[in-house]
Every structure is written in structure tokens, then in C-alpha cells.
Structure 1
Amino acid sequence: MTSTILRGATIDYDDLGPATGLPVLLVHGHPFDRTLWEPQVTALTKAGHRVVTPDLRGYGRSSVTPGKVLLADFADDLAALLDRLGIERAVVGGVSMGGQITMEFQRRHPRRVRGLVLSDTSAPAETDEGRLFRNRLADRLLAEGMDGYAHEVIGKMLADYNVTAMPDVAARVLAMMRATDPRGAAAALRGRAERPDYREVLATVDAPVLIVVGADDVYTPVSEAEAIHRLVPHATLTVIEKAGHLPGAEQPERFNAALLEFLGAC
């Protein structure tokens, strides 16, 4: 674990694997932290890749920027981190909100992208209903904290059957959510409520793209992944069976197999 000051925030991150390996930058979603990627870090570094996993500002051990943090802010933080590490180009991947940050990174820093991994995410702009929901949820988290929310959504973050079938995974995911600073979560929700439409960006991507989705994801279902695939016809689409919104945690061996095969072609 290392920390550095980037763009006015203290960002904690891990930079593991050989320095000469293919750089892979993995971006967690809301309301998690970089440890979400532990199964992937183990597999990728074993295969000789260099894996960078930051805690986004407001999450994990990184400092909180209260108020509102746009997806563009997160993307620029990532570019600054790559600069600090001397990495010119990387495969950039993210899950859920992390996938939207990845698309924003492609929009703002396309020359830094060697490949994209989009897991359980959505490309269209936020809807009016979605903006209202996210801002109200931000208010709730600031007022009540994370505990009640975490227990409410665990059966959607994981496929509901995996909550009982995989108690260790469920406990790990719950712990991440409950430990998140409500101020950081709320700031990200307010920023995400203003997210732009990424479909035009995706239609122009010429780098390799891997799209992954859990077969039973209720937040961003398979149809969302298929819509992205239609925008990026040269992309690879992998549906992970017996998984929900976090297939990298629920079915790490299947997720890692798809990821390692993709990285072999980058």
C-alpha cells in the first residue's frame, strides 16, 4: 500500500507485479475500495502483469472531497496517478461506476488507453429519474450513514442466491460498503448524477475492448452489456454465469480467465 497526493487529494493505491509487465489499471465501483480487485490482482500478477489498483478519492483509505466529485475528476486522478508511476499507456478497466470512470478516461485521455475492460456498467447519460434518485440517496447516506443502505443492496450487488451461498464473499462486500465514508459516497453520487452519454465515445474506440457482465446482474443487466457491444463491434462480450453485479468477486476464476485471455491480445 502506497499513498500520494494528486490534484489536492491523498490517493492510496497498490502497484504490484513486475515493473516491466503490461500495466493494468483497475477501478472499483461504488461504494467499494481497491480490495474488491484482490482476486484479479493475484491472478494477473502471477501471469506477469503490472496491476495498479487505487482507492478513488472518497473511498477506502483515500481522502474525502466533500460536496460533489464528477466522473471527470476521478478520470483525471487516474491519469495523474499513471503520470506519477511513469506509465504512459495502460489497459484500463472498471466495474459499475468504475466502468463509467473508465469510459470517461477514454473520453478525456484516449492516448493513454491500451485497452478497455468494462464490467457491469452502462453507457447512456443519467436520466432525470436517476438524477433525483442519486441526489436523494446522497442526502440519506449523509444523514444515516452506510450501514442500512449496505444491507439493503447486498442482494443486488451480488446475485441474491450468492449472498447465502457465498457468505465469505458477502461479508467482504458488506464490510467494504459499511466502511465507506458517507461523505465520499455522497459526493460521488452527486457527480455521477451528472454523467454524460458515453455512447458516442465508445463508437470511436479502436483499442481492444472486453465487456463482462454477470448473467443475473439486476443493476446493469446483460442487455446493457449487449448495447455496449453493438456500439463496439470489435469488442469481446463475456457473460459470467451464476453471478450478479460483481462477477469478479462472485466468480473470480471465470472472470479472471476472460480477463487473462483478453490481456494476452493487448
Structure 2
Amino acid sequence: MNSTTVRGATIHYDDFGPSTGLPVLLIHGHPFNRTLWAPQVTALTEAGHRVVAPDLRGYGRSSVSTGKVLLADFADDLAALLDHLEIERAVVGGVSMGGQITMEFQSRHPGRVRALVLSDTSAPAETAEGKRFRNRLADRLLAEGMEGYAHEVIDKMLAAYNVTAMPEVATRVLEMMCATDPRGAAAALRGRAERPDYRDVLAAVEAPVLIVVGADDVYTPVAEAESIQHLVPHSVLAVVDKAGHLPGAEQPERFNAVLLDFLAARM
């Protein structure tokens, strides 16, 4: 693991694979860290790609910014990290909140995108109800910590049947959530409550786009992924069976096969 300071924050990140390989930037969701992508890092580096997987500010081992961290802040952090690594353009992909950061990155830094990977995410702006929910949840996490919330949502982060069928995966996901600093999680929630509408951004994308979704995702169902595909007619949509909101963790072999096929065909 490496670290660097960008835009006033210390960002910890993994950088694996040959420096000459196709750069792939993987962005975790809330409330996780870079290790969520461990199965993808292994598969991508074995295929000869270079993989950069950071802990977003406020998550993992990266420093915490309190108050509010906008998706734009995360996107600009990642652009600065690519500058530090002397990577001009990369395949940029994320899951859930990480997918929304990916869309924000496309909006703010389109010239740096070779392709997009959008997993289990949503493009419309946050609703008024969603804003209230995220701000209330931020207050709760600051008051109570992460553990109660983590146990409440584990059977939504993973398909409910996988919580019992895949105890090692469930434990790993729970440990990530419980280890997250509540201040970082709260700041991201408050920033995400201000999420803009990314549908026009997606409609204008000319780069290759892969959309992945777990067949049993209750947070961003298959219909959300299909709506993104309608916005980006040249995109590829893959529905991963026997998975919920985190198909890369629940069905890594299937997720990896889809991702590697996409990169092989279009890069």
C-alpha cells in the first residue's frame, strides 16, 4: 500500500500490475474501502492490467474530512491521484457511490476517461426524501457509530440469501463497514445528499461503458441499470445472477469475467 497527499488529504492506495499495463481505477462505495476490490485487483493484474484502488478520503486508511464531502471532491481527489501516478487516462469504474463518483469524474475530467464501469449505481439527482434520509443517517452515525447500521443493512448490501450462504463474504463486508470512521461516512452522506443529475453526462459519453448490476440488488435494481443503458446506447449491460448490491464481492468470478471480456473487446 502507498500513500500521497492530494488536495489537503492523505490518500492511501494500492497500485498493482505493470506500469505499462492498461490503467484501471477502481472506486469503492459507501461505507467500504479499497479492499472491496481485492478479487478484481487479482484478476486484472493477472491479465496484465495496472490497477489503482484508493481509499477515498474519510474511508479506510485515508484521512478524514469532516462536515461535507461532495462527489466532486472525491472526483478531484482521484484526478490528483492520477496526476501523482503520472497516469493521463484510465478506465474508471465504481460501485454504488463509487459509480456516482465515476459519473462525476466523467463530468469534470472527461479527457482522462478511457472507459467507464458503472456497477450497481444510479444516475438521477438525489430526491428531497433522499436528502433528508442521508442527513438523518449522517447524524445517527456520528451519534451511534457504524456497528448498528452495518448489521441493519448487511442483507441489502449483499443479497439476503448470500449473508448466510457466504459467511466469509458477509464477515468481510461487515468488517469494512464497522471499521469506517463515522465522521468520514457522515461527511460523504451529506455530500451525496447534494448529488446532481448525471443523465445528461451519461447521454454525452462517447467512451466505452460497461454497466453491471446484481440480479437481486434492492438498492439499485436492474431497472436502474437498464435506464443507464437507455441513456448510453453503445453501452454493455451485464446482470450478475445470485448477487445483490455488491456483485464483485458476491460473485467475483462472474463479475471478473464480464469486466475482462469488456476490456479485451474495447481497449
TM-score, normalization: structure 2?
Answer: 0.99
Q: Distance in 1 between matches of 2:41 and 2:114?
A: 18
Cα deviation 1:84-130 (Å, max 9, x = unaligned)? 00000000000000000000000000000000000000000000000
1:243 corresponds to which residue?
Answer: 243
Q: Secondary structure at the match of 2:189?
A: helix
Pairing 1:71–2:83 present? no
Q: Distance in 2 between matches of 1:54 and 1:126?
A: 25
1:8 corresponds to which residue?
Answer: 8
Letter in 2 for 1:186: A
Q: Secondary structure at the match of 2:116?
A: strand
Pairing 1:216–2:216 present? yes
2:107 corresponds to which residue?
Answer: 107
Once the two structures are TM-superposed, the CA of residue 31 in structure 1 deviates from its matched residue by 0.1
Letter in 2 for 1:193: A
Q: Distance in 2 between matches of 1:262 and 1:90?
A: 14
1:52 corresponds to which residue?
Answer: 52
Letter in 1 for 2:155: G
Q: Secondary structure at the match of 1:254?
A: helix
2:206 corresponds to which residue?
Answer: 206
Q: Distance in 2 between matches of 1:110 and 1:4?
A: 23
Q: Distance in 2 between matches of 1:261 and 1:197?
A: 30
Q: Distance in 1 between matches of 2:76 and 2:30?
A: 18
Q: Distance in 2 between matches of 1:79 and 1:262?
A: 23
Once the two structures are TM-superposed, the CA of residue 238 in structure 1 deviates from its matched residue by 0.1
1:37 corresponds to which residue?
Answer: 37
Q: Secondary structure at the match of 2:105?
A: helix
Once the two structures are TM-superposed, the CA of residue 167 in structure 1 deviates from its matched residue by 0.1
Q: 5+ residue gaps in structure 1?
A: none
Letter in 2 for 1:108: R
Cα deviation 1:203-224 (Å, max 9, x = unaligned)? 0000000000000000000000
Letter in 2 for 1:165: A
1:157 corresponds to which residue?
Answer: 157
Q: 5+ residue gaps in structure 2?
A: none
Alignment of 1:118-137 (within 5 A): 118-137=118-137
1:169 corresponds to which residue?
Answer: 169
Q: Distance in 2 between matches of 1:176 and 1:123?
A: 25
Q: Distance in 2 between matches of 1:195 and 1:150?
A: 23
Letter in 2 for 1:147: E
Alignment of 1:11-26 (within 5 A): 11-26=11-26
Letter in 2 for 1:75: A
Once the two structures are TM-superposed, the CA of residue 29 in structure 1 deviates from its matched residue by 0.1
Q: Distance in 2 between matches of 1:85 and 1:102?
A: 18
Letter in 2 for 1:164: T
Pairing 1:143–2:150 present? no
Pairing 1:196–2:193 present? no
Q: Secondary structure at the match of 1:206?
A: coil
Letter in 2 for 1:114: R
Q: Secondary structure at the match of 1:76?
A: helix
Cα deviation 1:106-162 (Å, max 9, x = unaligned)? 000000000000000000000000000000000000000000000000000000000
Provide the identity percentage. Answer: 83
Letter in 1 for 2:245: H
Q: Secondary structure at the match of 1:218?
A: coil
Once the two structures are TM-superposed, the CA of residue 246 in structure 1 deviates from its matched residue by 0.0
Q: Distance in 2 between matches of 1:258 and 1:7?
A: 34
2:85 corresponds to which residue?
Answer: 85
1:261 corresponds to which residue?
Answer: 261
Figure out how many residues of one structure are paired with residues of the other and give that number.
266
1:94 corresponds to which residue?
Answer: 94
Q: Secondary structure at the match of 2:26?
A: strand
1:186 corresponds to which residue?
Answer: 186
Q: Secondary structure at the match of 2:118?
A: strand
Q: Please provide the CA RMSD for this pair.
A: 0.2
